[in-house]
Amino acid sequence: MSVSNTSRAQPVKVGIVPQGTGYTLTVEGQPFAIKGAGGDACKAKLVAAGGNAFRTWGVGDDTQGKLDEAHELGLKVVLGIWLRHERHGFDYSNVQEVADQYERVREAVEKYKDHPALLAWALGNEMEGFEAGDNAAIWSHIQACAALVKKLDPHHPTMTVVSEIGGQRVPAIHKLCPDIDIVGINSYGGAPSIPQRYRAAGGTKPYIVTEFGPPGTWEVGLNNFGAVNEMTSKQKAESYGRAYKALSEDALCLGSFAFTWGFKQEATATWFGMFLPNGDKTPAVDAMTLAWSGKPAENLSPDIEPLTVSADAVEPGQTITVKLKASDPEGRPITVDWQLHTEAEQYFTGGDRQDQPRSFPDAYTERSASHAVLVMPQEPGRYRVYAFVSDGEGSGAMANHPLLVKGQDKAPKGVAGRIPHVIYGDGKAKENFIPSGYMGDVESIKMDEQSRVNPHAGETSLKATFAKDSGWGGVVWQHPANDWGDQPGGFNLTGAKRLVFHARGAKGGERINFGFGALGADTKFPDSAGHTQEFTLTDQWKEYAIDVTGKDLSRIKTGFLWSAGAQGNELTFFLDEVRFE
């Protein structure tokens, strides 16, 4: 039965009941231990595996459909309400930004609080950042939002989700957030030890491990050429099983969510995915099926061993032989899809979206179910060879191995750039980045680099307008001008720590994507690094910054960019003092 109108639905009452030395989550008075996953793969498969819940990270146009589907399948949903991150430009000391976010929480709760699939509210996901987690302004806002949720919806508990439990996270939630009922914890390599470490940090509230899986890239060492070694899908399955067992035995733990019920490009094409890109389930799904249901999966995924390579660091164009040991436990014939990808420029992304790396389908001279022979590209750099195994019946497995093509980068480093490196500002350097890369609905974009309307500094600022009520537009600052990766160029900005810019909206509330490094590995002469994120502007000048510490800035060809979707009849904002420093 579809629940299309939740305003007349009867809410399901969810409670947290003290029991012995811990707590029990109840739904309409009956115990409910969360056996969940997070991700967008088929929810019917989640039910078939023995799962009973899934979590989301934010509210969007698809939220109603997700809740309705969950109700039809008998699943419960921990509904996430996304809270902005400081690393994405949000300022928890800005009264207007915080007030606007508070109202978005109100809107979400009022819209979905009576849906029968709703289990709990998750306020934010790792919004405290990856350092000490000690910004009291963030925790005060979390408390205000939690108090609002409890006032609007007394039937569903509140939770906030943090990145592990180090620093001041656990003490801050316990001392500053009395209206947070549950502590949500994302933990990977450390998940099995959460029961002990949570108590040692002073944790007494019930908790849910909201993401768990194999050790993260930040938890494993680098090899001798700076690449991470990834577990096979069989080894990852063992990690899922160990974590679930340890958590299910803790009286303070209300349940857990395996990550990710689907696949995504993060660090590699397969690091966190419980499914392969072709939709095949991996042994991680089998492990959770056994843990959730107590029964083995009907069609087990193939067994697979780590790949062995004849050499992992070679000269350009050199041939490599890769050997694979894989088999199907039920004796089905297997097929192997061999792939070679460029390696991601950075591993730890905090969940941010990454572009798919470039692939080389013509690199192979031999391919079989037991080995492959490939000729490595001429371009020096890091690569990764993948073996995707399938039984042809919806079950698969994966192993991969990092590779290095030695030598200097074929695309030379950029011209040495002085730090600070001014991209826009009064008296900016000559032969700099040029705002020549117009994107989207270019006819609707207007740029005035000499606007005298209330500049931040000096006599002028840059005025940008997108004059259309649909579609999107943007501009990239390029070097050389009008180049989309076909020519060498750019600046070597090694030593810079931040990309800083000042901006204001004509009205306030304008949502603009700002960043740098638009040229990916699929171009002949790419940027050596890049990052783009959304900022919400006010009608007053404000300094924004993107952290570039640790990024390879040796060849930045697109030094700055903005893009935005239509947000009314006309979108106008101003920029000033844009620089790497």
In this predicted model, what pLDDT tens digit does every residue of 491-520 receive, in sequence order? 889 889 999 999 999 999 999 999 999 998
Q: How many CB atoms lie within 10 A of CB 317?
A: 10
Question: What is the SS3 assignment for 320-365?
Answer: EEEECCEECCCCCCCEEEEEEEECCCCCCCCCCCCCCCCECCCCEE
Is cis: bond before 270, omega within 30 of 0? no
| pLDDT score, position 349 | 58
Would you give per-residue pLDDT tens digits along the chain (581 residues)? 455 554 446 889 999 999 999 999 999 999 999 999 999 999 999 999 999 999 999 999 999 999 999 999 999 999 999 999 887 778 899 999 999 999 999 999 999 999 999 999 999 999 998 888 999 999 999 999 999 999 999 999 999 999 999 999 999 999 999 999 999 999 999 999 999 999 999 999 999 999 999 999 888 878 888 899 999 999 999 999 999 999 999 999 999 999 999 998 888 989 999 999 999 999 999 999 999 999 999 999 999 999 999 999 999 999 999 999 999 999 999 999 999 999 876 666 566 656 677 899 999 999 999 999 999 999 999 999 999 999 999 999 999 999 999 986 544 566 666 788 999 986 554 458 899 999 998 889 999 988 889 999 888 899 999 998 888 899 999 998 889 988 888 888 988 999 999 999 999 999 999 999 999 877 888 999 999 999 999 999 999 999 999 899 989 999 999 999 888 788 999 999 999 99
Closest listed residue to residue 422, CA positions, set 499, 519, 490, 535? 499
Q: What is the dihedral of CA 280, 284, 286, 291, to 10 degrees?
A: -150
Q: Nearest CA to 396 among 331, 304, 478, 330? A: 304
Question: How far apart are the C-alpha atoms of 236 and 387, rounded to whole Å?
Answer: 15
> Do 398 and 388 touch, CB atoms closer than 8 A?
yes
Per-residue b/e over 197-224, b at no fewer than 16 CB within 10 Å?
Answer: bbeebebebbbbbbbbbbbbbeeeeeee
Give dist(CA 220, CA 76) in Å, integer: 34
Burial of 490 (0-12, 13-18, 19+ CB in 10 A): buried
Burial track 351-376 (b if 16+ CB lie within 10 A, e otherwise): beebeebbbbeebbeeeeeebbbbbb
Instruction: Give 308-354 pLDDT, tens digit per residue.
Output: 999 999 999 999 999 999 999 999 999 999 999 998 766 665 666 56
Helix (H, G, I), strand (E, B) or coil at 306: coil
Which 3 state secondary structure label does DSSP give 56?
Answer: coil
SS3 state at 70: helix
pLDDT at position 430 is 44
Q: Which residue is associated with the tokens 């050389």?
A: 480
- Give pTM, 2 decimals: 0.72
Q: Based on the number of CB atoms within 10 Å of its own CB, is 260 exposed (0-12), middle (13-18) or buried (19 or more)?
A: buried
3 state SS for 169-221:
HHHHHHHHCCCCCEEEEECCCCHHHHHHHHHHCCCCCCEEEEEECCCCHHHCC
Question: What mean pLDDT is reported for the chain?
Answer: 92
pLDDT at 55: 97
Helix (H), strand (E) at residue 298: none
- Is the separation of the CB atoms in 347 and 218 below 8 Å? yes
| C-alpha to C-alpha distance for 211 and 351, rounded to whole angstroms | 12
Q: Amino acid identity of 221?
A: G
What was the pLDDT predicted at 405? 95
pLDDT of 9: 66
